Amino acid sequence: MKMLSRSSFLARLATLTPAVATRSVIDEKYYSTSDAPAKHPMYSPSERRDFMAVFTDLNRQLSLEDLPKELVPLLGKHMTKCIQYNVPDGKKNRGFSVPFTYKLLTDKSQHTEENLRLAMVLGWTVEFLQAFFLVADDIMDQSETRRGKKCWYKQKDIGLTAFNDSILLETCVYTALKQYFADKDYYMSLVDLYQEVTKFTSLGQALDLISAETFQQKIGKAHSLDHFTMERYKAIVKYKTSYYSFYLPIALAMRLAEIKRTDFYEKAERILLSMGLYFQVQDDFLDCYGDPEVTGKVGTDIQDGKCSWLVVMALQRADHKQTKELALRYGSHKEEDVKWVKNLYTELGLKKLFNHYEAEFYDDIQDMIQQISGDELPQQIFHSLLARIYKRNK
């Protein structure tokens, strides 16, 4: 396994700073949605360069060095392109949360070259898992764009080969875990966590897809809206999004820091799953109201008949006539039908309702974080995550 030279890696790591002081109140101006760097003060340019340097090594290792030798000339170029196209271009909040959290959980004496590199490698395994989910999800949803460019399966000469590529991206997670952590006491704990979270995410995706498929089964000329309930919505979000996007990175860092108390994991899980729900509600809102130039994708929840927060809330507020019309138009790809649904959302005041939900969530999550004592877990783990997602626009 090729690694950065000690001198070059130490030079990069020398600029890594301890976590910034916790901000107990999120200031609207400080975390301006139009000013991305200000919204992420814990990420310095040098830290991002260090993180990306580890990805470069991993890409070479996973796409070339770890392939059977006879497959390198046949698949090496494809693997490199697949990884480069799908893994590194997102916001990387999930991945960077691992080294950031690890440093908060451990004493400076543990911030050795090896440990910090392991934390960054572990962070990239989350990004590889994310890429696996997104490549497959885009195929299932027949999406057009992702992160501001064409979905992988829409690329020339890729097509449904992308489905197998998603599986290859998942194998990269376990290859990296074995290469870097097989000699660690917590290795199997990492593997078990990944298997459990992947299972949860797949179950959430199944519920999401089945909900959309059930919706497409028409009763006469109208769709059935009966299954668009808040109970179902929360179950989809919990398993499809919250575990891998919020709980996984923090739980990985806790394992790397060799934290074993189950009650600490349970307290973290409660807060992180709540953040995951808020994050998905935001995502649903941005799918309808976000600017594709900013979000990097064109929203299709209405056309796909998804069980989104907006349609669930619309059904709670709509009268009989509106509900009947919504059943006819929701899930249609016709421009006039999509426009009608969006107009209904406006008429029902869903933008104002979202703003109210967001403010209420913020107060509730602050209370939950304050209940965590410093002897258990640093509150800044959760404050930093909150800062990254609160009032985001992409």
Catalytic residue IDs: 91, 132, 137, 141, 146, 208, 240, 279, 283-284
End-to-end CA distance of the chain: 36
Question: 211 and 240 in contact (C-beta within 8 Å)?
Answer: no
User: What are the start-end ranges of the E strands in the chain?
Assistant: 145-146, 149-150, 218-219, 222-223
Q: CA–CA distance from 49 to each of 64, 93, 120, 202, 203 (Å)?
A: 22, 14, 11, 32, 35
One-letter amino acid of 106: T
Q: What is the DSSP string of 319-368?
A: -HHHHHHHHHHTT---HHHHHHHHHHHHHTTHHHHHHHHHHHHHHHHHHH
Two tokens at 330? 């929701």
* Closest residue by Cα to residue 388 from 237, 252, 295, 275: 275
Q: How far apart are CA 330 and CA 334, in angstroms?
A: 10
Cβ partners under 8 Å of residue 157, min gap 6 = none
